[in-house]
Chains A and B, each alone.
Chain A
Amino acid sequence: MLKIVSDLLKHDTRFRIAAVFLLAVLILIALTAVSPYDPTRTFKVPADIPPSLKYPFGTNSRGQDLFWWMAFALRNSLLLGLLTAAVSRVIAILVGLTAGYRGGLVDRVLMSVNDSFVVMPVLPVLILLSFLLRGQMNIPLLALILGLCGWPGDARLIRAQVLSLKERSFTRTAVYSGSTPLNISLNEHLPFVLPVVFATTIANMLWSIGMEVTLSVLGLSNVSLPTIGTAIYWANQHQALVAGIWWWLAAPIICAMVLFLGLYLLFSSVNEYIDPRTRLRLMGG
């Protein structure tokens, strides 16, 4: 693992940028442990102060220090991404392994449901759901809902891998030595699929954090909880742009860009690393 990281650091510019960005995010998140204020409390600091040494991101009209609000926001958004990815990974792995290994009717039914989910516009359905749950929305619940919507593309990817693994001789050996299908799927096939699962985890986190931004901006999540989306929601509520408090929007936008670019560059770098042909080209081996 350490070897891989140091290899990537040495050979891949994208991985280096991703490392810097994500490290910045992680440091900010770690700082929440020593935060001087509770982020949800208002009017702890003077309102509407532009960025300065004392308040690096400025303060907003609700008397909150944007630096600390964003630190908590990044923590919550990242947590949401991780939880969503965990939920949807479980479904994607189960569906992918089953459909790929069983084939036939099971495969066709699962993939038909899968394709329906791929095609369906998720946002209107999510809006309907969060609208009904307004007031009870919290991060685990939102993660569960997003997780239930975010698995299909990756299930298809895993299935495709299993289809080729199934034809390999070790699968036949396992079948002839009396392994159960469950055993083969989990012990023989899953380890081969894991790298893809890891790469898609990051992509799924990007998707879910972006979805949270959308839902929060519409006021459909718990808006008193700091996230990237609720930061923009409050800025819009107070018409920050019209009032000229540009830093209120700049803080979440910059934080979002650093987080998203960091995750995406990590994703594309890992994705290429998994593919041995491009890895050889990268490392010149």
Chain B
Amino acid sequence: MRRFVLGYLLPRIVQWAVVIFIGVTVTFIIPRLSPNDPVEKQVAELMASGAHISPQAVIEMRAALTEMYGLKGSSWEQYFGFWGRLFRGDMGPSLSTFPTPVTALIVRAMPWTLGLLLTAVLISWALGNVLGAFASYYPKSRIMGVIDVLSQAVRPIPYYVMALVMLIMFAYVVRIFPFSGAYPPGTHVEFTPQFILTVLKHSALPALSLVILGMGGWFLGMKSLTSNIISEDYVVYAETAGLRENNILFNYIIRNALLPQITGLALQLGSIFSGALIMEVVFGYPGMGTLTLQAVMGNDYSLIMGIAIFSIIGVATSVLILDLIYPLFDPRVRHQ
């Protein structure tokens, strides 16, 4: 047990802390390296946007911005102040929807992204792995050949372009799915079966796009992983012993190739998350991606900063969770 904690658990937790430390430090340094003074830029952009602001309000805003960006005092004081506020969960007020706190906006958007992402990742990962194993176990199958070619063709296409194509195909050309949003505008958000059904219908297309884009990678990965396993002695033995093919496929082949795919999932989470943000922008889905778009359009610097930090912490924590449940799948780590 001690060896497990020291050899497995502790390094993972340290790595988690390092990721967050580097991420937060980078987000702290970036605005200070920028040639623009964010406060002045912000004030200038707000003025230029045509909003009527009294001189008194400008002075107040400048003070509030300086305070909020933590630009008071020496660099070190600023840096520690930054961490202090972060620990209290305070990321300042949003500028475009002043004075709603950034944290409140993010907390409102988070469940949407989480729901979409979790569903899409689980489906694409499971489906990709099972189909990948099928493809290498039955190399002559026509359907698998088609999936193989499609996976290779879809894999390099950037998320944005792919999402746009899906949107055009299934919301304009063939009008199966609604065009944007997670529910029709004006709908009251509540937990009734009818509302949930509407949301599911609206989420289908973004989720489908994420699944199609994500699945290809897992499919190709699993196919090459299992291509060595199918000729292993124990698989040949299981075949001669007359075990059922399903049994061999799931318990002998997939199970042995699954571990690298779990590690792969942990490593990919960051880019999958980035992909989901883009997907939301295209489909107008009310999660973190749309919030980002809103922040960019409204010149809402504090919101962008909050989203960046929140994403880093969120993804790092998900990776940690995945690392912590990894021993359940890998008996070697478990019995250390």
B305 to chain A: which residues have CB within 8 Å? 128
B38 to chain A: which residues have CB within 8 Å? 132
A256 within 8 A of B: yes
User: Given A210-B158, A232-B164, A264-B155, does the pair A120, B22 have CB atoms closer than 8 Å?
Assistant: yes
Minimum CB–CB distance from A259 to chain B (whole Å) comes to 9
Q: Find out whether the CB atom of B296 lies under 8 angstroms from the CB atom of A218.
A: yes
Q: With A and B bound together, what is the CA distance between A133 and B307 in angstroms? A: 18
Q: Find out whether the CB atom of B30 lies under 8 angstroms from the CB atom of A129.
A: yes
B26 to chain A: which residues have CB within 8 Å? 125
Stretch at the interface among B129-137, B230-238, B266-274: B266-274
A131 to chain B: which residues have CB within 8 Å? 296, 301, 304
A224-264 to B contact mask, C-beta < 8 Å, 1/0: 00000100100000000100001001001100110011011
Stretch at the interface among A34-42, A108-116, A158-166: A108-116
B107 to chain A: which residues have CB within 8 Å? none
Minimum CB–CB distance from B195 to chain A (whole Å) comes to 27
Q: Find out whether the CB atom of B19 lies under 8 angstroms from the CB atom of A264.
A: no
Q: Find out whether the CB atom of B155 lies under 8 angstroms from the CB atom of A128.
A: no
A213 within 8 A of B: yes
User: Given A213-B161, A264-B156, does the pair A124, B277 have CB atoms closer than 8 Å?
Assistant: yes
Stretch at the interface among B85-93, B254-262, B312-320: B312-320
A119 to chain B: which residues have CB within 8 Å? 19, 266-267, 269-270, 315-316, 319
Q: With A and B bound together, what is the CA distance between A124 and B292 in angstroms? A: 8
User: Given A121-B271, A129-B30, A241-B172, does the pair A261, B308 have CB atoms closer than 8 Å?
Assistant: no
B165 to chain A: which residues have CB within 8 Å? 253
Main SS class of interface, A: helix
- Across the interface, B34 reaches (CB within 8 A) one of A121, A133, A249, A260, namely A133
A76 to chain B: which residues have CB within 8 Å? none
A132 to chain B: which residues have CB within 8 Å? 30-31, 34, 36, 38, 41, 301
Q: With A and B bound together, what is the CA distance between A122 and B281 in angstroms? A: 17
Q: With A and B bound together, what is the CA distance between A124 and B315 in angstroms? A: 12
Q: With A and B bound together, what is the CA distance between A116 and B16 in angstroms? A: 8
B296 to chain A: which residues have CB within 8 Å? 127, 131, 218-220
Q: With A and B bound together, what is the CA distance between A250 and B34 in angstroms? A: 37
B293 within 8 A of A: yes
B267 to chain A: which residues have CB within 8 Å? 118-119
Minimum CB–CB distance from B26 to chain A (whole Å) comes to 6
Q: Find out whether the CB atom of B277 lies under 8 angstroms from the CB atom of A209.
A: no
A214 within 8 A of B: yes
A52 within 8 A of B: no
B152 within 8 A of A: yes
B273 to chain A: which residues have CB within 8 Å? 121, 123
Q: With A and B bound together, what is the CA distance between A131 and B31 in angstroms? A: 10
Q: Which of B26-70 contact A (CB under 8 A)?
A: 26-27, 30-31, 34-36, 38, 41
B264-295 to A contact mask, C-beta < 8 Å, 1/0: 00110111011001100100000000001100
Interface size class for chain B? 35 or more
Nearest-neighbor residue (CB-CB) of B270 within chain A: A121
Nearest-neighbor residue (CB-CB) of B161 within chain A: A256
Q: With A and B bound together, what is the CA distance between A90 and B62 in angstroms? A: 41
Q: Find out whether the CB atom of A121 lies under 8 angstroms from the CB atom of B274.
A: yes
A6 within 8 A of B: no
Q: Find out whether the CB atom of B15 lies under 8 angstroms from the CB atom of A115.
A: yes
B1 to chain A: which residues have CB within 8 Å? none
Q: Which of B100-156 contact A (CB under 8 A)?
A: 152-153, 155-156
Minimum CB–CB distance from B289 to chain A (whole Å) comes to 9
Q: With A and B bound together, what is the CA distance between A271 and B155 in angstroms? A: 15
A156-191 to B contact mask, C-beta < 8 Å, 1/0: 000000000000000000000000000000000000
B1-35 to A contact mask, C-beta < 8 Å, 1/0: 00000000000000100110011001100110011
Minimum CB–CB distance from B179 to chain A (whole Å) comes to 9
A122 to chain B: which residues have CB within 8 Å? 270-271, 274
Minimum CB–CB distance from A136 to chain B (whole Å) comes to 7
Nearest-neighbor residue (CB-CB) of A244 within chain B: B172
Q: Find out whether the CB atom of B278 lies under 8 angstroms from the CB atom of A112.
A: no
Minimum CB–CB distance from A164 to chain B (whole Å) comes to 19
Q: Find out whether the CB atom of B15 lies under 8 angstroms from the CB atom of A112.
A: yes
A270 within 8 A of B: no
B152 to chain A: which residues have CB within 8 Å? 264-265, 268
- Across the interface, A209 reaches (CB within 8 A) one of B158, B168, B292, B311, namely B158
A97 within 8 A of B: no
Q: Find out whether the CB atom of B18 lies under 8 angstroms from the CB atom of A112.
A: yes
Q: Find out whether the CB atom of A116 lies under 8 angstroms from the CB atom of B15.
A: yes
A8 within 8 A of B: no
User: Given A120-B315, A131-B301, A217-B160, does the pair A125, B168 have CB atoms closer than 8 Å?
Assistant: no
Interface centre among B38, B156, B269, B281 (most CB of A within 10 A): B156
- Further 7 A-B residue pairs, CB within 8 A, beyond A132-B41, A218-B281: A116-B22, A122-B270, A128-B30, A131-B296, A133-B36, A214-B158, A220-B296
What are 20 residue pairs bridging A and B, where the CB atoms are less than 8 Å apart in the complex?
A112-B15, A118-B267, A119-B270, A120-B316, A121-B312, A124-B304, A128-B27, A128-B31, A131-B296, A209-B158, A210-B161, A214-B158, A218-B281, A219-B296, A241-B172, A252-B161, A253-B165, A260-B158, A264-B156, A265-B152
Q: Which residues of B contact A (CB under 8 A)?
A: 15, 18-19, 22-23, 26-27, 30-31, 34-36, 38, 41, 152-153, 155-161, 164-165, 168, 172, 266-267, 269-271, 273-274, 277-278, 281, 292-293, 296-297, 301, 304-305, 307-308, 311-312, 315-316, 319
